[in-house]
Structure 1
């Protein structure tokens, strides 16, 4: 398809409009004609910046994943809390756009995530964490954070008692009691899961972590 001679929109405006449509109307409602209408342009204008719909969705995924900021924290013995904050930032960004979770599953910007690993690996080194544990920590944090956040986004908001939905008191009495006894929100459970992982990695490596 030929491109118009002058761009009528910017790359960032296309991404922002795409996210707005997906957030408010759902992923199924997203299409290039719908996007062009939202922007007040003809569909060919989109081709100034993107080759096709897939490239736009990849940019949306990149924008959402990149919105999680790196915490400002000095290296030291409380280094696990740096990673807790980092994971919470990414989780918050993903849950802000729940309808886009399937996009992240398909177009996860791995290069964007890896670009931050030099900085986080240096933080580990400056905190006294041995190099042979760095990959285990960084890879594990990526898997735990993305897996938990995307799963939570796709299943929708929950309360303390509905973290496991559709539990029947008659057929699942033990689980029903467990849910009633739970005092943590989904966010708090996520934080403790991250901490448990980090402390577990270093538990047998004689690496100092706060009690």
Structure 2
């Protein structure tokens, strides 16, 4: 389909409108005609900016998983793990603000979204005294942990400390029920603890110097 000679909307406005529709009405409600109606234009106007629906969804994923995620300041030094903890928490929060878009991120999140920032992050690790041989292990591990954990949580109903594992009763699963009753960490705190455990495991396994982990 030929693109109009003059754009009636901006690319960013279309992405923001797409997110609004998915957030409020669900992913199944999203379509090019629905987006055009939301923007007050005809569907062909969208082709000035996007080749098809998939390209729009890729930009939605890029925004939620990248643009909207606040990056903490990099301060090279022995407390370098806290940069990754804060970044992972910010990423998780961005995903959970748009739970209906979780399937979009799973299918359309561009691989290069993370790898494009890895050069700067690898330099940060070097300046913090982390050997280059460990950079891929850290970066790849953080990507998988943060993305996997956030998307799994986004596709499940929000839970409290005692309902992290649903449908657990003292009669059927007494040990697990006791563990849930004893758990003092929220979902966010469990996520932070998981990220810290991963990073401090690498530190311990390789005899690296690092500052003591911050309290959860």
With the length of structure 1 as denominator, give the TM-score of the two structures.
0.97
Q: 1:87 maps to what in 2? A: 88
Paired residues of 1:169 and 1:176 also in contact (CA < 8 A) = yes
Within 2, Cα distance between the matches of 1:156 and 1:173?
Answer: 23
Q: 1:45 maps to what in 2? A: 45
Structure 1 residue 13: Cα displacement: 0.6
Q: Does 1:78 align with 2:96?
A: no
Paired residues of 1:101 and 1:154 also in contact (CA < 8 A) = yes
In angstroms, what is the RMSD of aligned CA positions?
Answer: 1.0
Structure 1 residue 55: Cα displacement: 0.7
Structure 1 residue 4: Cα displacement: 2.5
Stretches of 4+ aligned residues off by more than 2 angstroms: 1-5
Q: 1:33 maps to what in 2? A: 33
Within 2, Cα distance between the matches of 1:80 and 1:156?
Answer: 30
Q: Which moved more, 1:199-208 or 1:99-108?
A: 199-208
Within 2, Cα distance between the matches of 1:126 and 1:85?
Answer: 19
Q: Deviations over 1:60-109 (max 9, x none)?
A: 00111112122114111111111101111111111111100000000112
Count, aligned residues: 211
Q: 1:148 maps to what in 2? A: 149
Paired residues of 2:62 and 2:109 also in contact (CA < 8 A) = yes
Within 2, Cα distance between the matches of 1:69 and 1:117?
Answer: 16
Within 2, Cα distance between the matches of 1:2 and 1:136?
Answer: 46
Q: 2:128 maps to what in 1? A: 127
Q: Does 1:17 align with 2:17?
A: yes
With the length of structure 2 as denominator, give the TM-score of the two structures.
0.95
Within 1, Cα distance between the matches of 2:36 and 2:57?
Answer: 14
